[in-house]
Amino acid sequence: MSRKILEVRGLSRIHGKGCPLCTQHTGPEFDTNICPFCGSVVAAHDINFDLYRGEILGIIGESGSGKSSTVKMLYFDDAPTFGQATFFDGAEQHDLFSLNAAQQRSMRNKRFGMVYQNPHMGLNFQISAGGNIAERLLMSDLKHYAEIRRRAGELLSRTEVSLARIDQNPKTFSGGMQQRVQIAKALATRPPLLFLDEVTTGLDLSVQAAILDLILEIQNELDTAMIVVTHDLGVIRLLAGRTLVMKHGRVIESGLTDQILEDPQHAYTQRLVASAL
Amino acid sequence: MTQAILTIEDHAKTFHLHERNKDIPSASGVNLSVYPGRLTALIGPTGAGKSSVLKGIYRTYLPSSGRILYRSKAGNVIDLAKAGEHQILELRKQEIGFVTQFLYCLPRKSAIDVVAEPLFARGVDSHEARGRAEKLLAQLAVPSHLWNVPPATFSGGEKQRVNLARGLIAQPRLLLLDEPTASLDPATTERVVEHIQSLKETGIAMLAIFHHPDLVRRLADEVVELSPPIAVTELSKD
């Protein structure tokens, strides 16, 4: 069996009507991702990478570089303008962008997980923390109330959320705890592929460290492949084995994370690393 | 002598700094070999490119030219200068270890778990992995009351020993050591020396940088002298 879990080729997203010149007149060398001819935004263009089972890939870049756009397409939050992504799931192989809506939903609910920067996007604030996890468990194969509650409890304790709070609404939780509930929810179906979009941004440093630690522990335990989107070099240093550097919708450099940090090749990456605190 | 596990041919590394439009050579014309059960020491003044060579082998630096031929456990010869990223990651996990001068680790992890991590990554049972970590920490004289504490608050020498233990625990086939005794007191240095000697007996190949000429004399089987900016000569002790 190949160790590859995801293969992304030529993935692109252009917001706007687009024109034949869009991709030729945007990018790092033009210092913009807005097409000067038609005004379309080239959010991501020609993204290529392979992800292996259990591997953590970092995507780093400033706001508007296209890192979240890339992940959104893979999680079906947005549709690509062109490009392909193949998901290798055991013996099966899925061309992600050829799936119909129902198949995409099933993929999101059972095989993928997503943790957003903003807990409002990943959690339902109308229901309890336990209910949020139950919602996702119901979408997999668990049907019995007692079993679902037991699993939800297990997931919350694994992510270090006090069981006493299982029936409370996550809107009463601290930011760090909301992220833990999101992680518990994303992991409910034990997905082999997890997306993490700026999950520690805006949290206190000590809380950040604990969340990063938790993510690594989970990766170790479950061998979950992850794509970690962040603008924080410290996060990729601790989490990711390999890293893509994005700017103006393009991958300008990719490599082993320690190499990106200690021997960056591209002018932008050199500036980015040099300006890190 | 047995077949070399690592052979470097005409390796060079130059950094290109875009901001200043400058090329900075950090190593050039490096030729050396490392053998199972033997230690090759890199010597030379600061700036001669000693660390640069180690980082080039580990691919923390992208080599600029030359070949870095590694003979893997499976018997294949791999040019580390050109190998794919996933292949490098796999070799780091299974075969090539690097003890750097700095310890990067998560703030919450205990010293034991920091040391045991390379074993966790290989899928070793966590109980066994922690047991081996404890044994190694004891051998390197890290006080036992520190084992369950995150190393962030440790002294320089204690951190260094945790770092060393972490590099040694998985018993890689090829071990790169960048001044492993730099901030250690004489007694602890002595323990590390003994440990390195015992590693040689198990057949591990080592390429090392030592601060002290005395350690080179005691531990090195081969000595390679690098000199800035480019000239390189290979000396033999035998």
Closest partner residue to B85 among A256, A263, A274, by Cβ? A256
Q: Which of A3-17, A28-42, B82-96, B108-122 has the lowest mean pLDDT?
A: B108-122
Please tell me the predicted confidence (pLDDT) of residue A219: 87
Average pLDDT score over chain B = 90
Cβ proximity of A254 and A244 under 8 Å: yes
Please tell me the predicted confidence (pLDDT) of residue B219: 96
Q: Which residues of B touch A270 (CB under 8 A)?
A: 17-19
Please tell me the predicted confidence (pLDDT) of residue B234: 47
Please tell me the predicted confidence (pLDDT) of residue B12: 94
pLDDT-derived band at B233, boundaries 50, 70, 90: very low
Whether pLDDT at A94 is above 90 = yes
Please tell me the predicted confidence (pLDDT) of residue A2: 60
Tell me which chain B residue has its CA closest to the CA of residue A259. Answer: B60
- How far apart CA A114 and CA A37 sit, in angstroms, is 36
Q: Which residues of A touch B59 (CB under 8 A)?
A: 256, 259
Q: What is the pLDDT of residues B157-178, one digit of tens each?
A: 888 899 999 999 988 999 999 9
- How far apart CA A72 and CA A97 sit, in angstroms, is 12
Task: Supply the pTM of this predicted model.
Answer: 0.91
How many angstroms separate the CA of residue A19 from the nearest CA in chain B? 32
Please tell me the predicted confidence (pLDDT) of residue A273: 93
Q: Which of A162-171, A201-210, A221-230, B170-179 has the lowest mean pLDDT?
A: A201-210
How many angstroms separate the CA of residue A257 from the nearest CA in chain B? 8
The ipTM value here is 0.89
Please tell me the predicted confidence (pLDDT) of residue B232: 42
Q: Which residues of B touch A265 (CB under 8 A)?
A: 16, 62
Q: Are residues B60 and A263, on separate chains, in Cβ contact within 8 Å? A: yes
**Between B236 and A58, the higher pLDDT residue:** A58
Q: Are residues A209 and B61, on separate chains, in Cβ contact within 8 Å? A: no
Whether pLDDT at A88 is above 70 = yes
Average pLDDT score over chain A = 93
Closest partner residue to B109 among A213, A259, A265, by Cβ? A213
Q: Are residues A266 and B18, on separate chains, in Cβ contact within 8 Å? A: yes
Q: Are residues A256 and B60, on separate chains, in Cβ contact within 8 Å? A: yes
Tell me which chain A residue has its CA closest to the CA of residue B124. Answer: A220
Q: Which residues is B226 bridged to in the sheet? A: B232
Q: Are residues A255 and B85, on separate chains, in Cβ contact within 8 Å? A: yes
How many angstroms separate the CA of residue A210 from the nearest CA in chain B? 7
Closest partner residue to A267 among B18, B61, B121, by Cβ? B18
- How far apart CA B98 and CA A135 sit, in angstroms, is 45
Please tell me the predicted confidence (pLDDT) of residue A221: 84
Closest partner residue to B19 among A256, A263, A271, by Cβ? A271
- How far apart CA A129 and CA A134 sit, in angstroms, is 9
**Between A87 and A274, the higher pLDDT residue:** A87
pLDDT-derived band at B109, boundaries 50, 70, 90: confident
- How far apart CA A7 and CA A12 sit, in angstroms, is 14
**Kindly report the CA angle at A70 between A189 and A24, in degrees rounded to 5?**
165
Q: What is the mean pLDDT of residues A211-222?
A: 86
Q: Are residues A256 and B89, on separate chains, in Cβ contact within 8 Å? A: yes
Whether pLDDT at A140 is above 80 = no
Q: Are residues A237 and B104, on separate chains, in Cβ contact within 8 Å? A: yes
**Between A83 and B109, the higher pLDDT residue:** A83
The residues in A 196-235 lying below 8 A from B, measured between CB atoms, are 206, 209-210, 212-213, 216, 220
- Indicate the domain borders of chain B: 1-95+213-238
Please tell me the predicted confidence (pLDDT) of residue A71: 97
Selected residue of B17, B64, B86 to mutate for chain A interface (largest A Cβ count, 10 A)? B86
Please tell me the predicted confidence (pLDDT) of residue A269: 95
Please tell me the predicted confidence (pLDDT) of residue B229: 57
Residues above pLDDT 90, as percent of chain A: 75
Q: What is the mean pLDDT of residues B93-100?
A: 93
Q: Are residues A213 and B18, on separate chains, in Cβ contact within 8 Å? A: no
pLDDT-derived band at A116, boundaries 50, 70, 90: very high
Helix (H, G, I), strand (E, B) or coil at A274: helix
**Residues in Cβ contact with B77 at an 8 Å cutoff, skipping those fewer than 6 apart:** B69, B70, B71
Closest partner residue to B106 among A52, A209, A259, by Cβ? A209
Closest partner residue to A270 among B17, B60, B108, by Cβ? B17
Selected residue of A55, A57, A259 to mutate for chain B interface (largest B Cβ count, 10 A)? A259
Q: What is the pLDDT of residues A195-208, one digit of tens each?
A: 999 999 888 888 88
Show contacts of A173-180: CB within 8 Å, 24+ apart. Answer: A173/A129, A174/A207, A175/A119, A175/A202, A175/A203, A175/A207, A176/A203, A176/A204, A176/A207, A176/A210, A176/A211, A178/A119, A178/A123, A179/A115, A179/A119, A179/A203, A179/A211, A180/A156, A180/A211, A180/A214
Please tell me the predicted confidence (pLDDT) of residue B1: 61
CATH of domain B1-95+213-238: 3.40.50.300
Residues above pLDDT 70, as percent of chain A: 99
Interface contact A276, partner B, CB < 8 A? no
Q: Are residues A274 and B19, on separate chains, in Cβ contact within 8 Å? A: yes
Interface contact A238, partner B, CB < 8 A? yes
pLDDT-derived band at B231, boundaries 50, 70, 90: very low
Q: Are residues B106 and A263, on separate chains, in Cβ contact within 8 Å? A: no
**Residues in Cβ contact with B194 at an 8 Å cutoff, skipping those fewer than 6 apart:** none
Whether pLDDT at B235 is above 70 = no
Q: What is the mean pLDDT of residues A254-267?
A: 96
